[in-house]
Protein backbone atom coordinates (compact mmCIF):
# COMPACT_ATOMS: atom_id res chain seq x y z
CA UNK A 1 0.00 0.00 0.00
CA UNK A 2 1.41 3.38 -0.98
CA UNK A 3 1.59 6.29 1.46
CA UNK A 4 -1.09 8.15 -0.50
CA UNK A 5 -3.37 5.11 -0.36
CA UNK A 6 -2.92 4.94 3.42
CA UNK A 7 -3.87 8.59 3.89
CA UNK A 8 -6.29 9.05 1.01
CA UNK A 9 -9.29 8.29 3.22
CA UNK A 10 -7.83 9.01 6.67
CA UNK A 11 -11.02 10.74 7.81
CA UNK A 12 -13.72 8.21 6.99
CA UNK A 13 -16.42 10.63 8.14
CA UNK A 14 -15.82 12.70 5.01
CA UNK A 15 -17.27 11.30 1.78
CA UNK A 16 -14.85 11.50 -1.14
CA UNK A 17 -17.52 12.51 -3.62
CA UNK A 18 -18.02 16.24 -4.09
CA UNK A 19 -14.88 17.11 -2.08
CA UNK A 20 -13.78 20.74 -1.88
CA UNK A 21 -10.92 22.41 -0.07
CA UNK A 22 -12.39 25.29 1.92
CA UNK A 23 -9.81 28.07 2.06
CA UNK A 24 -9.32 31.70 3.03
CA UNK A 25 -6.18 32.04 0.87
CA UNK A 26 -5.03 29.79 -1.94
CA UNK A 27 -1.75 28.00 -2.38
CA UNK A 28 -0.62 28.78 -5.91
CA UNK A 29 1.87 26.68 -7.88
CA UNK A 30 4.69 28.32 -9.82
CA UNK A 31 2.72 27.96 -13.06
CA UNK A 32 -0.19 29.93 -11.56
CA UNK A 33 -2.58 27.02 -10.96
CA UNK A 34 -4.27 26.56 -7.61
CA UNK A 35 -2.92 23.73 -5.48
CA UNK A 36 -6.25 22.79 -3.86
CA UNK A 37 -8.92 20.25 -4.81
CA UNK A 38 -12.01 22.04 -6.14
CA UNK A 39 -11.32 25.02 -3.85
CA UNK A 40 -14.03 27.16 -2.31
CA UNK A 41 -13.11 30.47 -0.70
CA UNK A 42 -14.91 30.96 2.61
CA UNK A 43 -14.98 33.75 5.16
CA UNK A 44 -14.82 37.48 4.62
CA UNK A 45 -14.75 38.08 0.86
CA UNK A 46 -12.99 41.48 1.09
CA UNK A 47 -10.14 39.98 3.15
CA UNK A 48 -9.90 37.03 0.75
CA UNK A 49 -9.81 39.35 -2.26
CA UNK A 50 -7.14 41.61 -0.74
CA UNK A 51 -4.94 38.65 0.18
CA UNK A 52 -5.40 36.97 -3.20
CA UNK A 53 -4.63 40.18 -5.10
CA UNK A 54 -1.41 40.66 -3.13
CA UNK A 55 -0.45 37.02 -3.63
CA UNK A 56 -1.09 37.11 -7.39
CA UNK A 57 0.73 40.45 -7.80
CA UNK A 58 3.80 39.23 -5.91
CA UNK A 59 3.91 36.04 -7.98
CA UNK A 60 3.48 37.92 -11.28
CA UNK A 61 6.14 40.53 -10.46
CA UNK A 62 8.55 37.83 -9.33
CA UNK A 63 7.98 35.90 -12.56
CA UNK A 64 8.52 39.05 -14.63
CA UNK A 65 11.78 39.74 -12.79
CA UNK A 66 12.95 36.15 -13.28
CA UNK A 67 12.28 36.30 -17.00
CA UNK A 68 14.23 39.57 -17.26
CA UNK A 69 17.14 38.59 -14.97
CA UNK A 70 20.52 39.94 -15.89
CA UNK A 71 19.13 43.05 -17.53
CA UNK A 72 21.91 45.33 -16.26
CA UNK A 73 22.38 48.15 -13.80
CA UNK A 74 24.96 50.76 -12.86
CA UNK A 75 27.36 51.62 -10.03
CA UNK A 76 27.83 55.26 -11.05
CA UNK A 77 26.80 57.71 -8.31
CA UNK A 78 24.02 60.14 -9.20
CA UNK A 79 23.46 58.39 -12.51
CA UNK A 80 20.24 58.86 -14.42
CA UNK A 81 17.77 56.04 -13.96
CA UNK A 82 18.87 52.95 -15.83
CA UNK A 83 16.38 52.40 -18.67
CA UNK A 84 16.24 48.70 -17.82
CA UNK A 85 14.92 49.61 -14.35
CA UNK A 86 12.27 51.87 -15.86
CA UNK A 87 11.31 49.05 -18.19
CA UNK A 88 11.13 46.61 -15.26
CA UNK A 89 8.90 49.02 -13.33
CA UNK A 90 6.59 49.39 -16.31
CA UNK A 91 6.44 45.60 -16.64
CA UNK A 92 5.67 45.30 -12.89
CA UNK A 93 2.74 47.68 -13.26
CA UNK A 94 1.43 45.79 -16.28
CA UNK A 95 1.65 42.33 -14.72
CA UNK A 96 0.36 43.61 -11.37
CA UNK A 97 -2.79 44.98 -13.01
CA UNK A 98 -3.35 41.69 -14.85
CA UNK A 99 -2.73 39.73 -11.64
CA UNK A 100 -5.27 41.79 -9.70
CA UNK A 101 -7.90 41.12 -12.39
CA UNK A 102 -7.07 37.39 -12.26
CA UNK A 103 -7.38 37.43 -8.45
CA UNK A 104 -10.79 39.12 -8.66
CA UNK A 105 -12.00 36.50 -11.13
CA UNK A 106 -10.77 33.58 -9.02
CA UNK A 107 -12.27 34.93 -5.80
CA UNK A 108 -15.57 35.87 -7.46
CA UNK A 109 -15.80 32.46 -9.11
CA UNK A 110 -14.89 30.44 -6.03
CA UNK A 111 -16.19 32.42 -3.03
CA UNK A 112 -19.16 30.99 -1.18
CA UNK A 113 -19.09 33.17 1.93
Per-residue pLDDT of the chain (113 residues; tens, 9 = 90+): 455 555 565 667 766 677 788 998 899 998 888 899 889 999 999 999 999 999 999 999 998 888 877 655 555 667 677 788 888 889 999 999 999 999 999 999 999 86
pLDDT score of 8: 61
- Of 11, 102, 19, the closest CA to residue 55 belongs to 102
Q: Which residues contact 85 (CB under 8 A, 6 or more apart)?
A: 73
Q: What is the pLDDT of residue 76?
A: 60
- Angle of CA points 46, 50, 51, to nearest 5°: 120
Cβ neighbors of 3 (< 8 A, separation 6 or more) are none
Q: What is the pLDDT of residue 1?
A: 45
**Domain spans in the chain, listed from the N-terminal domain onward:** 9-69+82-110
Give the span between the Cα atoms of 108 and 95, in whole angstroms.
20
Amino acid sequence: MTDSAKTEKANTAVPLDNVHDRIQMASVKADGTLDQVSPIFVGDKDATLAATKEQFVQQAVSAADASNAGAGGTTVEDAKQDPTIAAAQAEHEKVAAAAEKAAEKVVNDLHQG
